[in-house]
Structure 1
Amino acid sequence: MPKALQDVTVLDFTHLLQGPFATQLLGDMGADIIKVERPGQGDLFRTMTFKNRWVGGTESPNFLAWNRNKRSLAIDLKAPEAKEILYRIAEKADVVIQNFRPGVLAKLGFGYEDFKAVNPRIIYCSGSGYGDSGPYVARPGQDMLIQGLTGLAAATGRGDGAPTPVGSGFADQIGAMNMVYGILSALYWRERSGEGQEVKVDLMSGLLQHQHQEMLWVMNFEENLERPHSSIGHPGMDAPFGVYPTSDGWVTIAMSPYKKLIGVLDRPDLLVYDEPQLLFDKRDEIWAKIAEETRKWTAADLLDAMLAVDIWCGEIKRHLDVVDDPQVRHNGLITTYEHARAGTVKVVGPVVRMSATPPAIDRPAPMVGQHTEEILREFGIGEDAIGDLEARKVVAQAE
């Protein structure tokens, strides 16, 4: 079937998580992603994993997670020939995307103005930690650091414990979504105007925007929201919103009529708290009393009882349990692809549904330089020239 972005070519200088996730999303929609990597080494994420475990014994799960539907071009960016090759690709490319520290690629001759001179219709998207100027511009823009700087870590966890980062690369992934949002908007504008442009995204701004309801409250009332000392699920919410223990696990209870929950638990004495200000002021005390009751139930029985009266609730599952969740299976979210070294790799597939141009996994994550020769041939570089470039280690093909 056709793909929505099948005529879009992306020259991808990204590494680690933010940029690679953005280009993977574009690749899932059919864009031709030419991933530029260092010969032999490639993306730094190829060397990183959790618990020193490697898929198929050799491949980084961190890299595999964000780099499907791409081709790898291994090229030394400092070699004089690199400009000639990459500018030739840029003449026909639609998008250049990079997430190096501000100024790094421009010093090598791969900034927006360099590519604009080659192709005025080019869309050049940069992702950074804090923007390309200002007091933090030289700081490392890593996900957990951004969570701390924007207030997210301080708003997460129990009030009697340390600030708690989110258990995923949330800032990076929000940054990736903003990159895609900016790139698609720029492509649409170019279709109408014929003009390319520069798009800039930074992690700090993106994560701050995604806490807008909390920020708006704090700024307008000039007061911080304090974390509860219990498992109430948000610093601004009242009881019973939160996480509760059962005899065999945990459940979540979201915005629900307090009276209905007290009815399920058969504790009419707790109705004394049923007043909006008390439900906030006494939320930790209320949480403890409700938790005493939820511990008497199995998670399944409690969920059945709450769902029967339309209380908003759900299970707490660990990642391995999620794989077998009936709704996850129904939606077909877990799939596989075959990798030359890693073998069969289990992955979460594309999540956007499109009737005419559905996304798909057409390529596994590439090996470093796996497509170098293929890409160079496509852009008119002959066999003798390719052989010479490889001999002088300007480019490299995967072994």
Structure 2
Amino acid sequence: MENQMALSNIRVLDLTRVMAGPYCTMYLADLGAEVIKIEIPGSGDDTRKFPPFKNGESLYYCNMNRNKKGVTLNLKKPEGKALFKEMVKNADVVVENYRPGVMDKLGLGYDVLKEVNPRIVYAAVSGFGSYGPKHQRPGYDIIAQAISGIMSLTGEAGGGPLRTGSAIGDLVGGLNLCVGILAALNARQFTGKGQRVDVSLVDGLVSFLETNTQRYQVDGRQPERMGNRYPSAAPYDSFKAKDGEFVIGCGNDKLFALLCNQVLHRPELVDDPRYDTPVNRLANEAELKVIVEEWSTQHTIEEAVEAVLAAGVPAAPINDIPAVMNDEHIAKAREMFLDCEHPVAGHLRLNGNPVKLMDSMPRLRTPAPTLGQDNEAVYEGVFGLSPERLAELKDEGVI
């Protein structure tokens, strides 16, 4: 079918809240999956109370939950459990981010649900995963950043450890959960069975330590915080200009030669034994930075970036949020900010999806649902409940 979305044949029951889980199911929804977000009656996802707000609606919630249908269901009530099991019979994926064991206590863990539907993919993300000596510890993004080692690497030289400016632990966890779900759905094609996907925020950030663990194995020392520098290349850092700072990324000998010859006009640096190899440049990067800034401080950020790029060397301004949201390439050509109309919040600009499937492009189809917005459409239209039964469940506090 022309313009059919990549995951339009997949139905997801989304029990997640806050960020890691909703970020995963947002990806699935953007790519066309029918995502049914199931929330607690009367209160819903925690982030409905998180700022910033517009017309009383949380934009935190709106950004993470677009393209989803919204229903309410009380899983603590027997009728709610029974209804959820009926929904599982006609679903492909269940996603949750409760602390490990919560769904088992509710009688709705994977061992139960796979008997209801052997093809169900059951995906869970938590701070420490579902097994291991720390698996029962609570886990938020800052906990994952701290215990994974990422915070020990982030910050200025000589300064204290820093959390990154966005919730990278949650976001990486959500991405890993999405990858796991897609892999399990593919495996189901040849096994005929679903499986359980277990993702830990901590594991995700440990996998992002990249060369830092390798450097520790070489010399047995904790890698030092380096600010904006990079331990494998130089000059690869932020540099001062007349009106602020910008970045240059010289990742190899060829780029360094271009920088020296065409930008700094210091061709003698190319063969200088202090700078002639990546290892030597790293050993002497402090004095190399002084040399670069002798040139860059004579120019504005725009002038410096244009000169470096004209030489074929990677460079960029350090954009603030307004600059990013108005960037012609990012915001317009790549559609990384999307306009939508929310029934309560009004006009919104939401973050776009970075995955561009050129024949089945992700789309913003609907704004985030208000609490219980789609109860009737989903329970009656998708799962076949009668209006009378729906009214009974509402009176009983099940939905």
The equivalent of 2:235 in structure 1 is 240
Q: Tell me whether 1:362 sits opposite 2:360 in the alignment.
A: no
Secondary structure of 2:12's match? strand
What residue number does 2:336 align with?
Answer: 333
Partner of 2:281: 279
Of the candidates 227, 244, 247, which is equivalent to residue 249 of structure 1? 244
Aligned with 1:124: secondary structure? strand
Give percent identity, aligned residues only.
Answer: 32
Alignment of 1:141-290 (within 5 A): 141-228=139-226, 231-234=227-230, 236-256=231-251, 257-263=255-261, 264-266=263-265, 273-276=274-277, 277-290=279-292
Q: SS of the counterpart of 1:81?
A: helix
Which residue in the other structure is 1:90 paired with? 88
Whole-angstrom CA distance in 2 between matches of 1:332 and 1:133: 40
Correspondences of 1:41-190 after superposition (within 5 Å): 41-49=43-51, 53-55=52-54, 57-190=55-188
What residue number does 2:26 align with? Answer: 24
**Aligned counterparts of 1:112 and 1:298: Cα–Cα separation in 2:** 58
Structure 2 segments unaligned to the other structure (5+ residues): none
Deviation of residue 219 (structure 1)? 2.8
- Could you report, residue by residue, the CA deviation over 1:4-55 in whole angstroms, capped at 9, with x for unpaired residues? 1112111111111111011111111111111110111110111112xxx312
TM-score (norm 2): 0.92
What residue in structure 2 maps to residue 297 of structure 1? 299
Whole-Å separation in 1 of the counterparts to 2:265 and 2:15 = 60
- For residues 17 and 212 of structure 2, the distance between their equivalents in structure 1, rounded to whole angstroms, comes to 31
1:384 — aligned with what? 388
C-alpha displacement of 1:218: 2.4
Could you say what the CA RMSD is over the residues aligned between the two structures, in angstroms? 1.9
Conserved 8 A contact 1:143-1:171? yes
Aligned counterparts of 1:358 and 1:269: Cα–Cα separation in 2: 50
CA distance in 1, matches of 2:265, 2:5: 55
- Structure-2 separation of matches of 1:145 and 1:88: 36
Deviations 1:271-294 (A, max 9, x none): 754244442223234324433432
2: CA distance, partners of 1:232 / 1:261: 19
Amino acid at match of 2:234: A
CA distance in 2 between partners of 1:238 and 1:94 (Å):
45
Cα deviation, 1:204-262, whole Å, max 9, x if unaligned, reads 1111112233323323443332223xx5422x135311011211222111125444434
Residues in 2 aligned to 1:267 and 1:323: alpha-carbon distance in whole angstroms: 37
C-alpha distance in 1 between matches for 2:90 and 2:264: 65
Residues 151 and 163 in structure 2, CA contact (< 8 A), matched pair in contact too: yes
Contact 2:248 2:315 in 1 (8 A): yes
Taking structure 1 as reference, are residues 91 and 238 closer, same or farther at Cα in structure 2, changes over 3 Å only? closer
Superposed CA offset, 1:137-190 (max 9, x none): 232211122112112111122112111221111111111111111111111111
CA distance in 2, matches of 1:265, 1:284: 16
